[in-house]
A and B are shown apart, each in its own frame.
Chain A
Amino acid sequence: MPDHPDVEAWSCPLPLRDYDRIVIGHGGGGKLSGELIEHLFVPAFNRGREVELHDAATFDVEGGRLAFSTDSYVVRPLFFAGGCIGDLAVNGTVNDVAMSGAQPIALSAGFILEEGLPMATLGAVVAAMAAAADAAGVGIATGDTKVVDAGLADGMYINTAGIGVVPDGVDIRPSRARAGDAVILSGPIGEHGVAVMSTREGLEFGTDVRSDSAPLHGLVAVMLDAFRDIHVLRDATRGGVTASLCEIATSAHVGLVFEERAVPVPPAVAAACSFLGLDAMNIANEGKLVAFVPPEGLDAVMNAMHEHECGRDACVIGRVVDDHPGVVVARTAFGARRVVDVPLGEQLPRIC
C-alpha cells in the first residue's frame, strides 16, 4: 500500500489559530491568509532566513537567456508511494526549466485549496515541497493562495512556475534534432504512473513500485559539461516516452526509429501493464528524460550520465533518421516495424 507522509507527525511551528481545516477565509487576504503565509509558507520555504514580504521576488542575473516554465499539478490521490503532489510540483517545474539546459534559480507556487482540507495535509505537502526544493537547491520565492468551496479542487491544486539561466553555447530545442542523432533514455520507465494508478479507485492493486519523482537539473548539468551541443532534451511526463518522441518528431519534422527491446521496463511495471492492457511507453514518468545527442557527443554524454544517480541506467533506444519525417517508428522484438503515435486521449485499461 502507498506510504503517506506522516501527517500526524507534522507540527505547526506556531499555532494557526484553532483551525484544523482550511476555511474560505484562508484565501481572503485578511488575517487568516496572513497567518497561513507567516506561519506555514514562509518558514517552510525560507528555512530561518529573514525575508521581506512584498508582491514580487527580484533576482540579479548575469547577461544571458532566461528559461521560464510553468506547470499545474492536479494529481489524485495527493499522496502515493514515493511522493506527493508537493514534490511533483517542485521537481516537475525544475525539470521543465532544466530541459532547456538552464539551471533553475527559483520557483513560484500558487495554491488553490479546497475548503475543508485538513491543515495537517497542507502542512505535509508544504513540508515535502520545502524538502524537494532544498534537495534541488532551488528557492520557492513567491506564491499565492486561494480557497474554493468544498467539493472543488480535489483537496488542492498547485501551480508552480520556474526561471533559470541558459548557459552560453547551449541551444536545446526540438527543432535542433538532426538525422543521425542518438536518442538516449535516462532510465527505466512507467514507475510514476503505475505508483499513482495502484491507488486509484476501481483499479487498486498492491505493488512496491514507487514514483520516480526526482529533479533532473543536476543530471543535465553533468551532461552539458561532458558535451555542450546536446540538441534536444525532454522530460517524459504525461503521455510517457511516446508523447515525448512524437512531439519532438512532429515539431522538428524528423523521423525517429527506436528498438522496443532497448527500452527498459521494470518487471513490476510490465506486469501492471499486462493485466490492465496498457503500454508502458505511454505511462507518465517524473524523473526520466530523453536526450537527442549527435554521434560525436554520444560516448561522453553516456559516460557522464552513468556516473550520476539519475542516469545510472541510461541507454540508447534509437536514432533520428532521414525517412518518414514527423513519424515515429518502433522496431518490434520480432523485427517488424510499427508506426507509434500518441493515443487520442488518456490511456484506459482494456479487456479486449
Chain B
Amino acid sequence: MKYLDEFNDPELAASLFAEIERITTRPWAIMEVCGGQTHSIIRNGIDQLLPDTIELIHGPGCPVCVTPLGVIDKALEIASRPDVIFCSFGDMLRVPGSGRDLFQVKSEGGDVRVVYSPLDAVKLATDHPDRDVVFFAIGFETTAPANAMAVHLAARQELTNFSVLVSHVLVPPAIQAIASSPASRVDGFLAAGHVCSVMGTRQYGPLVERFGIPIVVTGFEPLDVLEGIRRVVAQLEAGTAVLENAYERVVSEEGNTPAQRMLDDVFEVCDRQWRGIGEIPASGWRLAPRYDDFNAELRFGVGAIDTPESDRCRSGEVLQGLIKPHQCEAFGTDCTPRSPLGATMVSSEGACAAYYQYRRLDAGPGVEVSLRQPAGAGSDRA
C-alpha cells in the first residue's frame, strides 16, 4: 500500500536503529501514548532491537485499556435489553465488566454486532425502525469526529431509535497526569499522531513548557515510530525540551478544523475515570445536553451504574510505567489472557498480555512465571 509499505522498509529501519544506538549515551525512559504505536512496537519487535538502555513504557493509549469498569457494565446492561441492537468496534467485545463481557451477553441472546464505522450503526437504525440501536462511542480524539458525525446525522434524519453510549478520553490531560506524578519515570513522550491529525499540535507546547520534557508527535509505521524515538533521544541527549512534529505528512499544527467544529457542537469536556488510574479531571468528552435525545445513558437509565475497580488489579501502575507486569501478584496466576482482571491483560497489546507471551519463550508453556524480562525492555530502575 502506498504511503504505508515504504515506512516499513527494513533497510531504512536498520539505519534508524543504528543512528539511535550511535547517539544514545545514557538510559532513557520514553512513553508512547497510543495503542496503535504500542501494537506497532510489539508486532515488529522494535523494543527488542533498541539499545538496552532505552526503555519503552507503554502508556494508557488504548480505549480498551482505559474504559472504566462502570462504563463496560452500562454497556452490558443496555446490550442485554431485548429490543436493542448494540453496536461496537471489535476491540471492546472481550473487555470484561463485573463478571461478563459483550460476547457472553451475545450468547445469552443479546443482539451485539461488530461494526467498522459508527455510520454502520446509523444505517442499522434507519433499516430497523422497530429496534433501538445503540452505538458504543469510545476512543480518543481520533475516533470522536466519526462518532460525532453519527450523532449529527441521526439528529438531522430525526431518528428516534438511535443513541450512543459515550466514553471518550483525551490525550493531553493523560500526559499531564502522568508527567505530574511524583513517581513518574518518563523522560520523553511520543504523542499520538492520528489524535494530532484531528486536534493539531497546539495543546502539547504548554505541556513541554510546564514539565520540561520533550514531546514528539509520532506516526505508526515502524520507521515513523523509530524516527519519533530518535528525535526524543536526540533532545534528551542534548538536554533540550521542545515540541516536534515527526509525522508532518499527516499532522499540521492546526489539525482538522471542520472536525474540531463538529466536536465542539456534539461533545463537552467532563471529568473521566481511567481504568486502573483513577479520575483525571477534564480528561473526557460526554455528549452535549443539546443531544440528550441521543444519549443512551439517559434513554436506558444506566447513569447510576458505577462499579468499583478490582483492588487486585494494578494495571494503572503498569500503564504509568511504575511497575512491570510480573511485579503484580496476580500476574500469571489469577490474571491471565483467558481470565483477565484488567484491560492490560485483555488487550493483546496491553503490557501484561505482551509480557505473558514473552515469558513463554523463556520458560516454556505451563511453567511458572520467570522474572526474566524480554530483551531490550531496559532495566528495572524503580
Residues in chain A near residue B49, CB distance under 8 A: 334-336
Residues in chain A near residue B364, CB distance under 8 A: 324-327
Q: Is the interface of B mostly helix, strand, loop or mixed?
A: helix
Query: Are A326 and B365 in touch, CB under 8 angstroms?
Result: yes
Residues in chain A near residue B4, CB distance under 8 A: 274
A348–B62 alpha-carbon span in the complex (Å): 16
| Residues 317 to 352 of chain A near chain B (Cβ within 8 Å) | 324-327, 329, 332-339, 341, 343-345, 348-352
> Which of A261, A337, A348 is B361 in contact with, Cβ under 8 Å?
A337
> Which of B10, B13, B116, B143 is A203 in contact with, Cβ under 8 Å?
B116
| A270, CB-defined interface residue at 8 Å | yes
Nearest CB on B from A346, distance (A): 9
Q: Hey, what's the 0/1 contact readout for B71-107 against A, CB within 8 Å counting as 1?
A: 0000000000000000101110110000000010000
Q: Hey, what's the 0/1 contact readout for B1-36 against A, CB within 8 Å counting as 1?
A: 100100010100110010000000000000000011
| Residues 106 to 160 of chain B near chain A (Cβ within 8 Å) | 113-116, 120, 139, 143
Query: Are A332 and B35 in touch, CB under 8 angstroms?
Result: no
| B316, CB-defined interface residue at 8 Å | no
Nearest CB on B from A69, distance (A): 27
Q: A326-B364, A351-B89 are in contact. Are A332 and B139 (CB under 8 A)?
A: no
Q: How many residues of B contact A (CB 8 A)?
A: 46
Query: Are B63 and A352 in touch, CB under 8 angstroms?
Result: yes
| A57, CB-defined interface residue at 8 Å | no
| A271, CB-defined interface residue at 8 Å | yes
Nearest CB on A from B82, distance (A): 16
| Inter-chain CB contacts under 8 Å: number | 99
A270–B49 alpha-carbon span in the complex (Å): 25
| B310, CB-defined interface residue at 8 Å | no
Interface centre among A261, A325, A344 (most CB of B within 10 A): A344
| Residues 326 to 343 of chain B near chain A (Cβ within 8 Å) | 337-338
Residues in chain A near residue B87, CB distance under 8 A: 202
Query: Are A348 and B114 in touch, CB under 8 angstroms?
Result: yes
| Residues 94 to 117 of chain A near chain B (Cβ within 8 Å) | none
A329–B358 alpha-carbon span in the complex (Å): 10
Nearest CB on A from B267, distance (A): 17
| A152, CB-defined interface residue at 8 Å | no
Nearest CB on B from A91, distance (A): 28
Given A277-B90, A334-B44, A337-B48, list of 15 further CB < 8 A pairs? A201-B113, A202-B120, A203-B116, A261-B10, A276-B116, A324-B364, A327-B361, A327-B365, A334-B14, A335-B10, A338-B43, A344-B337, A349-B90, A351-B139, A352-B64
Q: Which residues of chain B have a CB within 8 Å of any CB of chain A?
A: 1, 4, 8, 10, 13-14, 17, 35-36, 39, 42-46, 48-49, 62-64, 87, 89-91, 93-94, 103, 113-116, 120, 139, 143, 222, 337-338, 347-349, 357-358, 360-361, 364-365
